[in-house]
Amino acid sequence: MYPDAVILDPEKDRGRFTGYTHVVVASDTPDETLAELEQYGIQPIVYEDDDTLFAPGNPWYLAKMGEASKIYLCEGTYELENGSFMILDAETPVTVSGEGKEKTRIVGSSDTRENKAAAFHILSGEDNPVTGAVIENLSISGFEYGVRVEYGREIGLKNLNIEKNYFVGVSLENAQDCVITDCDLVENGRPDGADTGYGLSILYASTGNTGSGNQYKNNANKNAVDFLERGKETEPPGNSIALEKVYDLDRTEKPIQDPDNIQPTENAIRVEMETGEIDGKGAVILDKAEKVDPFTGDGYVFLFNTTIRLKVDVPETGNYRLFIVGTSDDGNNKCDYVQVNGGDKYLTSYLGKNQGEWTYSQPGTEVWENNELHPKAPDDGFALQAGENEILITANWGYCCYDAVILEPIE
């Protein structure tokens, strides 16, 4: 795959490359940069497109990195259709530096939602967090996450352009004392109309995170967001990341064509969502209607990033129309997956303009109208057997509220 590591002496004078232990070039790194490397006797690491540059356990040369390693990414485009560009764990809290936002570009898939990884995934656990890693002076686009920090401490993100990543630009999850400065978070999520995804997402017990000089422009969700503290105009408590917020996209609307507009009848079977299998972490049961209209039953479920597994009984084998009762409580559009008895995945959709109002979504295939997701339900509904059936709702965009499932036999 790659040759053995070329580890440089960081103390030796090598011009602008002084202090770095690894130098990496792309396939389109300018000739003058290559000549400069040759002048200093540096044998660079040549990045091969579509490869992860480093991940724990990786047998390539970068597996020899340690906490003192500093990586210089020369000007160029580093492309990969799938997977992370780098995964850092507690043993490798390295510094990764590019030549600048306009010169060093980390690029994922150009196909929407194709690359399901984070470009830089700082991945560790509560007992042994990554501490002190730095990512600076480069551009990241085309991933599900630009930078995802899980249990990081004192992580530095500096002078980055994080743009057009499909879900989140920067995600801080159980992150402490991280610093984000002079970063441009631009058009992350689906800012063209679906309001799904985030430029900055601050989750779980993330506290002490600070930053300044950051531009927050035209991200799908206009706010930073914290689990169970959604829809805030300021960052969640305990964090002070300054964002210059701009949202100036124009949207045009046209009437949505829904000739069927089928609604369940009063004789339909209703199953309360809180009776399902709920893990209490990525999905939680709430019993107060503070951000939503009054619910039925004993509560409703907020699905963050895991699943709701619901058992439903029907009296007869046959085809049923399926309605999922849900809503957005933060004014942003929502979309999750639904499977019936382990079958194909279908999509739900709840529009942010109906914030807090319980609405019906018939799970179906992906159809967009007016930059809004309006799934097309299967014509024959869903085949159910007499007795127990399973409905699985899995977070896709997540952050969605669910009250009940309704089943209507198709005559």
CA angle 208/284/339 to nearest 5° reads: 120
pLDDT at 25 over 90: yes
| pTM score, whole prediction | 0.64
Q: What is the pLDDT of residue 63?
A: 46
Q: What is the pLDDT of residue 357?
A: 95
pLDDT at 26 over 90: yes
Q: What is the pLDDT of residue 95?
A: 94
pLDDT at 73 over 60: yes
pLDDT average, residue stretch 92-113: 86
More confident residue, 236 or 83: 83
- Tens of pLDDT along 217-232? 888 776 665 443 444 4
Tokens representing 218? 């035209």
Q: What is the pLDDT of residue 51?
A: 84
pLDDT at 307 over 50: yes
Tell me the β-bridge partners of 278: 308
Q: In percent, how much of the chain has pLDDT > 70?
A: 86
CA-CA distance, 54 to 62, in Å (whole number)?
6
SS3 187: coil
pLDDT average, residue stretch 63-74: 80
Could you list the beta-strand ranges (E) of 144-268.
145-150, 152-153, 156-163, 168-173, 179-181, 184-186, 198-203, 210-217, 240-246
- Tens of pLDDT along 323-372? 999 999 999 999 999 999 999 899 999 999 999 999 999 999 888 777 78
pLDDT average, residue stretch 178-206: 82
pLDDT at 260 over 50: no
Q: What is the pLDDT of residue 250?
A: 67
Q: Which residues make Cβ contacts (< 8 Å) with residue 137, sequence separation at least 6?
A: 97, 98, 99, 100, 101, 104, 158, 159, 160
pLDDT average, residue stretch 137-151: 95
CA-CA distance, 148 to 198, in Å (whole number)?
12
More confident residue, 205 or 387: 387
| Burial (Cβ within 10 Å: 0-12, 13-18, ≥19) of residue 403 | buried
pLDDT at 103 over 60: yes
| Domains in the chain, CATH or no CATH each | 15-246 (2.160.20.10), 269-409 (2.60.120.260)
Q: What is the pLDDT of residue 110?
A: 65
Q: What is the pLDDT of residue 181?
A: 97
Three state DSSP letters for 239-292: CEEEEEEECCCCCCCCCCCCCCCCCCCCCCEEEEHHHCEECCCCEEEECCCCCC
More confident residue, 148 or 238: 148
Q: What is the pLDDT of residue 54?
A: 84
pLDDT at 301 over 60: yes
